Structure 1
Amino acid sequence: MVDWAWSIKMARREFRKTGVKLVLFVSAIVTGIAALVAVTSFGDNLSKDIDEQAKELLGADLLLKKNQPIEFPEIEEIASKHALEINFASMVYFPKAGDSRLTQVRALEGDFPFYGTLETIPENAESDFRSGGKKALVEKTIMAQFDAVVGDFIKVGNVNLEIIGALQKVPGQTGITATVAPAVYIPMDQLEASGLVQYGSRVNYNHYFLFPESYALQTLIDENKELWGEDRVNFDTVQSQKESTGRSFENLSNFLTLVAFIAVLLGCVGVGSAVNVFVKEKLPSVAVLRCLGVKALDIIVVYLVQIFFMGLLGSIIGATAGALLQFLLPIVFSDFLPVEVTVQLAWGAIGMGIVTGVLISILFALIPLLKIRKVSPMMTLRPDDQSTNIGKDPLRLFVLIGIVVFILLFSFFLLGKWDQTLWFTGFVVLSFGALWLLAMGVMKAIRTFLPISLNYPVRQALSNLYRPNNQTVSLLATIGLGTAMIGTLFFIQDQLLDEVRFADKEDQPNMLFFDIQTNQVDSMKAVLDAEGLPILQHVPIITMGVSEVNGLTKKENEALKDEDRRSRSFYNREFRVTYRDSLINTEELVEGELIPYTTNSDSIFVSMEEGYAERNHMKIGDEIVFNVQGRPLTTYVGSIRKVNFRRVSTNFLVVFPDKVLDKAPKFHVLITKTKDDKASAAIQNTIVRQFPNVSVVNLSMIVETLEDLLGKIGFVIQFMAFFSIITGILVLISSLLISKFQRVRENILLRTIGAERKVLIKINILEYLFLGSLAAGGGLILSILASFLLSYFVFEIAFSLAWQPLVLVFGLITALTVFLGYVNSLNILKAKTMDILRT
């Protein structure tokens, strides 16, 4: 049995002399706990605000949407209010700037939003807009891009509209959405005059409804759900919007919490390393206590009590810092948030942070504390023999298992899915294991193969990596894993950007014109030819739906078992198809063959994209009945194609043979390539002025938008990874301070035998140069492995290694480690020789 009274009393006495060192032991977990509490509190507050502001996210009680005109007279009679929004992608021309931009045009009729407001500058712009006339509300981001101000004019199709206000906020829209698809609101009475809604235009019709509070909306949905499905009408309610938004941001919150959890684990490695040094210094005292008959368990409890209270103190400090830090997070994540986040104390998150910090402090401290069980009373007679055979202690294995189980359970608590939990835990264990093996391998290699002929400072610095009280393992683990996170971020971000930097590649087009009507094709080609631009592709596009697959209608498909049922979207989606008898350079035939259509043949064989066919259980020979503007067309799957959707081209899920759809109503796409951005802007503005209904995709602008988007995402991840780096630095600083006395002794002895000051400084700098480069190198190797796996399995892109960020990260981490080691060495060299020799 443990003598608790004696252990607590001894812990209190011991703390008077070792309290400062134990404060350093737990300082490393403060940053991780702060990040964990801040992110968890932010997630709790965000979840609460999404619940409270769910109506403002949708702006109505019910949204019914379809890509064709449709009316709901029965529902309009029941509803208190009804609003209609017709939205589509279209070019908007800014005459003052002489430039244009693809935007999301929204023609609005009614008082939408019913919850919340269209926030504008000036504030009265919304009410002025609703009175109708030639007015527009324009997203503030696009106004800033073209230096537009209130009072300027824009051209939307054939109509000129005055900008009467800048849109600050739209229901459910985030800063990211505004960057990718900026909105321009126009009154409904100006839509026809714009001439933009023609055949082939990709138009969405959104009907918003407000109901009396007492109305049973769910009953209405249950009664009409099947009918809406048959008519391809999608619906959203406040509850469904809340759930979908909540799921999206729950995933974000969980990811950020896992990143913070890694920072906590890094701090705990520092705790374990610090306790290891602490225990080594206490082994002679432990041997004396063992001579007096004190049991090893009682001595372990003495130090565990101290670790518990210091861990509690560190966790409380970290939780307090996290509670304050959460005030900063809404600013960091502002571009991603669809709601206003109210910051308040989340006591559940604070409690979880404190408990987590204390628990893992004890778990990681147990491994070095187990050495006490092996201390022999004979050590009092042989104080220099401090070796302990801890490697064979079976309790150590149980502690390691306990740590892994804790990481596993905590990860599952955050993620809720075992597959993701196992991947995350596996990554953590693999990373720590790989860095530990690297540290142990380096120490063993130096001890075994260190050449005696090496320069003295170099040999001495290398020897310090394996001598007593070395920090090689802890620093490689903490700084290495932090480096791995930063490196992975840089590599993946660079690869994703490289995938979309197609505008500057010689073999890639950079201008795409769509929504071209059949009677405009020849005129468009003439304009491009006059500008000396090649027609790289001319693609006709026909819209259609699916009525039957292998004789099964949508209703019959719904009655099948899950494993036999095709996706509901297969029947609901509107397919855009083309026709040709050959493959293009983004396609590869993997099964079957392209079978041309002849007038003598009764069968039409279509080609399907490999992934889509696989997801919907389609195979060669399957029958599909398409609905082409009301006319049924029976076809058969004749081939399966692999399509590279990452390359710039008109890629399709379904391709018909030539001569089948020649007379079907269609619109067209033309693709060309300009020499530079100036030429792109010139032809874009020419086309918009002559053909207002034609939309232009400037791929150079898409690249800029994606770079901006990835930059914002990268900043958020860097912000969270920063906590891991800070934790690694704190571990480094605490490790230097903890081992300071041992380093002072070593330096004094070297000075006593004649070593000069500059030699001692050189030894310290070289030691931390080796440590920093090993940690950074090990972390970068892990980041390269992680980047390869993410590229191959998640993003499905070709892996390529960017040397510039690799060298940058390596250099910065190594330089920081050397700098901190150098600063510490200056303090060590100030110690007086006689004071240490007397000690």
Structure 2
Amino acid sequence: MSLASLPLPLRFALRELRAGIRGFGIFLACLALGVMAIAGVDAISSALSDGLRSQGRVINGGDIEFTLVGREASPEELAFIGKQGRLSIAASTRAMARTPDGQTALVEIKAVDPAYPLLGAVEFGQGRALSATIGSQGSRADAAADAALFARLGLQPGATVTIGNLTVTLADRLIGEPDKIAGGISFGPRLMITLDALRESGLIQPGSLIRWRYRLVLPPDVSPDAVRQRANQAFPQAGWEVRTRDDASPELRRGIERFTMFITLVGLTALLVGGVGVANAVRAFVERQRDSIATLKTLGAGANLVTGIYLTQTLLLAALGIVIGLAAGAALPFILAYGFADYLPLPITPVLNPAGLALAALYGLLTALAFSLLPLGRARDISVSALFRDAIAPTRRWPAPIVLILAGLAVAALVALALFFAADRKVALVYVASALGAFVLLRVVASLLMALARRLPRPHSTPLRLAVTNIHRPGAATPSVVLSLGLGLCLLVALTLVDGNIRHQLSAAIPDKAPSFFFVDIRRADAPRFDAFLKQAAPQATSERVPMLRGRIVSVKDVPAEKIKPPPNIAWVLSGDRGVTFTDAVPAGSRVVEGQWWAPDYAGPPLVSLEQEVAHGLGLAVGDDITVNVLGRNITAKVGALRKLEWQNFGINFVLVYSPNTFKGAPVTDIATLTFPHGADDAVELGLLKQVADAFPMVTAVRIKDALQSFADLAGQLAMAIRAAAAIALVASILVLAGALAAGQSSRLYDAVILKVLGATRGRILFAFILEYGLLGLATGLFGVVAGTACAWLIVTYLMNFSFTFLAGPAFGAAFGALALTILFGLAGTWRILRQKPATHLRSL
């Protein structure tokens, strides 16, 4: 196809591009960065999800898994499961490992049968087979353990530890388990033993918190869903959780979805920040083409043709930036898979995801349209004479209504995309409202700053007078600087404060009022002796003990749990089993907000109290029924009261609290906490840990500091990924800032030449520019701190339900960085101008 056969706007646009893309470097970089962030996050998410699906059988340990908590499968249930395919049984629990010299450590026990693993392979340090590594004979057993246990206790393979009534020889280091991902967060190192060894340990007691897993590899012609359906029909009150190979780790899948959504919103922020750069580049492009536009209009070109030519050229360049971003984003999962696969905790299967790439491209295209239509619309409606006067007296008027409508439609489409494809519409709506609000506020801040500078009394200091005048002069870079730097700084401050508050809650605020220990699996017969022991061993501490069972919600108001679609922040209640308790008094840390608590001697039908937010998320009110399976029995209870809980005190909090008569005669173990009034140092806690392990070997002690460290490590890994994504937005902000300041260099050159001719020294001119950039950076930095703090407060308070703490150091550190960046980029070009001789430029002015 020849160039002459193309539509006239496209033909003119291609001819213009022959001269190169000068001035569009920031334009291309901003679009490419934003599109890369969105496409890359989606590609990595798809690769992780595909990895989970492709490795679903291995992660799940088979085609289907039946999980029971607190009880083993009955002979009838076991017989039914065993007939469906090749069976393997595993059990997991926590216990205390004790060395001969008195050291203790919490371990995550995994007890397996000879058929384990049905799929994949277990890896040991010495490369031996599973049957040659672990085994048992009476009260003695051989085991394999994570390297962390050897390091924590200072042991080597061949050392012995005691677990319950079992003497365990640590035969080898455990390197890898094929089904480890499905196990969730661990609070201690893994210890792998045989099922026979676990039975000899004495840890299996009625009501003990042991998770029993029954895994099957099915014949090729048998569907896991069909087996699940038959099992639930044959044993409707079994209370087991069933997972298939297609959904081996639903918690992990949901975590990936939520994390992807959050990072996508951060990437969209980078794209929106880049949109300011797009607008700046298009505005500068229109200014450079002023003579060409005037000539075209003089020769009879209509406003629509002129706009079409330059809109086509803008879209062609946008397409180039989008393609670059798509290529970089699509390559990210392949780079991770082939360069960092050994360091990733999840399987990753990199593939091209056309739908995700198309979505990222659409985001980029709509951003380019939304931010380029207004500056292009100005060229459409300004008269020829006004175009020639623009260099001296810019014309201020709104674009034509059609341009405003098209720009508004592009913004509306961006908002619709963000909401429609969000995993959590509530979070996405908060983000959209915050982003639009930030744009409006930043534009208002820029206008107020210019208006204030215009109305200030004329300073006596010449450099200060020049600085103030440059802030509100025609064509000033103030709006662009405030928008670009303000958005990026707002994001930086918000993420910094959210990250800081999470760490503060986990490492500072919570431990001051949290218990030092949780004690699990206290047998009811041992409970009085255990209370007396704690009172004697730690007389200055307070303890609390309550009964606990595990139960799974199976229906709400006669609606099966699997058919309920709760809000994302409540979905965890229906995923797996929950701790339940019973008491005749309102638990500590709770207060009744709806309904009434039952009487101490209540003997009627079962009643239950739920946490208020959870109840409302499930559509429950006082008087409604909820059915929970506990120890293989479906128990239906009426909601008697709703409570508010103090989750942050890390005390014993239960979503479900029943009237005592509900579980009369059920096998129950207790859970207890121990709290020192003002905390305790490590030596006291470790000493008490040893005493408990010696006196009550069957009781599991969870040290809160260790549990918090596990959560802090996980939060740190997530924060690192979030900061990496936020860095893209910050890079976009820096690019836009540099572009906005560079666009004003022609006027800076004019000022510097005239001032030099009038006798100004290089130092005074430089000082004036430093004051100008410093005032802009300071105003924008203060706004970024205020707006970012407000966003962080909303996220921490309403989405995370934490108390918010303002961290002045990180917040004002970011503001100082904004000030330094503005001055640095502003002076980068100015210094070059100040070194040049006036005569060279006077000839062209």
Give the TM-score taking structure 2 as reference length. 0.87
8 A contact 1:54–1:238 mirrored in 2: yes
Other-structure match for 2:110: 106
Change (3 A) 1:87 1:415: same
- The SS at the match of 1:252 is helix
1:203: Cα distance to partner? 1.3
- The SS at the match of 1:114 is coil
Structure 2, unaligned runs of 5 or more: none
Other-structure match for 1:668: 670
Other-structure match for 1:608: 609
- Equivalent in 509, 512, 518 of residue 512 of structure 1: 518
Structure 1 residue 211 and structure 2 residue 232: aligned?
A: no
- The SS at the match of 1:232 is coil
After superposition, give the CA deviation of every residue in 1:172-201 in whole Å (9 maximum; x if it has no partner): 544994554543221112112222122332
Other-structure match for 1:121: 125
Distance in 1 of aligned mates of 2:620 and 2:314:
62
The equivalences for 1:609-628 within 5 A come to: 609-611=610-612, 614=616
Other-structure match for 2:410: 403
Other-structure match for 1:44: 46
Change (3 A) 1:654 1:606: farther
- Corresponding letter in the other structure for 2:472: Y
- The SS at the match of 1:257 is helix
The equivalences for 1:375-414 within 5 A come to: 375-379=382-386, 382=389, 384-391=391-398, 393-412=400-419, 414=421
8 A contact 1:539–1:578 mirrored in 2: no
Change (3 A) 1:333 1:606: farther
Change (3 A) 1:211 1:130: farther
The equivalences for 1:747-766 within 5 A come to: 747-766=752-771
Distance in 2 of aligned mates of 1:40 and 1:433:
29
Other-structure match for 1:588: 591
- Corresponding letter in the other structure for 1:222: Q
1:320: Cα distance to partner? 3.3
Change (3 A) 1:330 1:771: farther
- Equivalent in 22, 28, 31 of residue 29 of structure 1: 31
After superposition, give the CA deviation of every residue in 1:689-717 in whole Å (9 maximum; x if it has no partner): 23211111212222222222211111111
- Corresponding letter in the other structure for 1:272: A
1:732: Cα distance to partner? 1.8
- The SS at the match of 2:649 is coil
Deviates more, 1:794-803 or 1:184-193: 794-803
Structure 1 residue 697 and structure 2 residue 697: aligned?
A: no
Change (3 A) 1:332 1:790: farther
- Equivalent in 216, 224, 229 of residue 222 of structure 1: 229
Structure 1 residue 730 and structure 2 residue 735: aligned?
A: yes
Distance in 1 of aligned mates of 2:204 and 2:468:
74
- Corresponding letter in the other structure for 1:756: T
- Equivalent in 91, 94, 106 of residue 96 of structure 2: 91
Change (3 A) 1:16 1:554: closer
Change (3 A) 1:728 1:672: same
After superposition, give the CA deviation of every residue in 1:616-657 in whole Å (9 maximum; x if it has no partner): 676667799999989999987665443223213223445567
Other-structure match for 2:715: 710
- Corresponding letter in the other structure for 2:609: M
- The SS at the match of 2:774 is helix
Distance in 2 of aligned mates of 1:580 and 1:244:
34
Other-structure match for 1:236: 243
- The SS at the match of 1:64 is strand
Deviates more, 1:605-614 or 1:633-642: 633-642
- Corresponding letter in the other structure for 2:240: V
Distance in 1 of aligned mates of 2:67 and 2:535:
40
Deviates more, 1:346-355 or 1:266-275: 346-355
8 A contact 1:502–1:508 mirrored in 2: no
Distance in 1 of aligned mates of 2:773 and 2:165:
69
1:297: Cα distance to partner? 2.9
- Equivalent in 808, 812, 816 of residue 807 of structure 1: 812
1:332: Cα distance to partner? 11
Distance in 1 of aligned mates of 2:659 and 2:531:
24
Distance in 2 of aligned mates of 1:722 and 1:416:
23
Identical residues among aligned pairs (%): 23
1:424: Cα distance to partner? 3.7
Other-structure match for 2:495: 489
Change (3 A) 1:356 1:753: same
Deviates more, 1:483-492 or 1:537-546: 537-546
Change (3 A) 1:279 1:626: closer
- Corresponding letter in the other structure for 2:465: R
8 A contact 1:259–1:721 mirrored in 2: yes
8 A contact 1:90–1:693 mirrored in 2: yes
1:54: Cα distance to partner? 1.6
Distance in 2 of aligned mates of 1:625 and 1:63:
23
- The SS at the match of 1:21 is coil
Structure 1 residue 679 and structure 2 residue 673: aligned?
A: no
8 A contact 1:108–1:185 mirrored in 2: yes
Structure 1 residue 780 and structure 2 residue 785: aligned?
A: yes
After superposition, give the CA deviation of every residue in 1:637-691 in whole Å (9 maximum; x if it has no partner): 6654432232132234455678998987543344333421221111112211232
Distance in 1 of aligned mates of 2:606 and 2:557:
25
Other-structure match for 2:67: 65
The equivalences for 1:438-587 within 5 A come to: 438-447=445-454, 449-453=455-459, 455-501=461-507, 508-534=514-540, 536-541=542-547, 543=549, 576-581=580-585, 583=586, 585-587=588-590
8 A contact 1:609–1:643 mirrored in 2: no
After superposition, give the CA deviation of every residue in 1:298-355 in whole Å (9 maximum; x if it has no partner): 3333333432332233233333333444445569997996642144555665565456
Other-structure match for 2:317: 310
8 A contact 2:26–2:277 mirrored in 1: no
- Corresponding letter in the other structure for 1:156: I
- Corresponding letter in the other structure for 2:841: I
Other-structure match for 2:375: 368
- Corresponding letter in the other structure for 1:466: H
- Corresponding letter in the other structure for 2:463: P
1:727: Cα distance to partner? 0.7
Other-structure match for 1:646: 648
* Number of positions where the alignment pairs a residue of Structure 1 with one of Structure 2: 827
1:285: Cα distance to partner? 4.1
After superposition, give the CA deviation of every residue in 1:116-141 in whole Å (9 maximum; x if it has no partner): 22344343253533555622232345
8 A contact 2:553–2:561 mirrored in 1: no
Change (3 A) 1:181 1:769: farther
Deviates more, 1:649-658 or 1:484-493: 649-658
Distance in 1 of aligned mates of 2:634 and 2:714:
43
1:764: Cα distance to partner? 2.4
After superposition, give the CA deviation of every residue in 1:231-285 in whole Å (9 maximum; x if it has no partner): 2122111123377754542343333233222212221220111221232343344
- Corresponding letter in the other structure for 1:753: L
1:585: Cα distance to partner? 4.4
1:806: Cα distance to partner? 1.2
1:465: Cα distance to partner? 2.4
Distance in 2 of aligned mates of 1:559 and 1:377:
69
Deviates more, 1:343-352 or 1:328-337: 328-337
- The SS at the match of 1:255 is helix
- Equivalent in 278, 282, 289 of residue 282 of structure 1: 289
Deviates more, 1:142-151 or 1:311-320: 142-151
1:452: Cα distance to partner? 0.4
8 A contact 2:146–2:175 mirrored in 1: yes
Distance in 2 of aligned mates of 1:316 and 1:625:
53
1:592: Cα distance to partner? 5.2
The equivalences for 1:423-442 within 5 A come to: 423-442=430-449
The equivalences for 1:52-201 within 5 A come to: 52-67=54-69, 68-70=71-73, 71=75, 72-93=77-98, 99-124=103-128, 126-129=130-133, 134-146=141-153, 148-174=155-181, 177=184, 180=187, 182-201=189-208
8 A contact 1:765–1:822 mirrored in 2: yes
Deviates more, 1:106-115 or 1:647-656: 647-656
Distance in 2 of aligned mates of 1:285 and 1:483:
38
Distance in 2 of aligned mates of 1:19 and 1:597:
81
- Corresponding letter in the other structure for 1:761: L
8 A contact 2:225–2:244 mirrored in 1: no
Deviates more, 1:404-413 or 1:194-203: 404-413
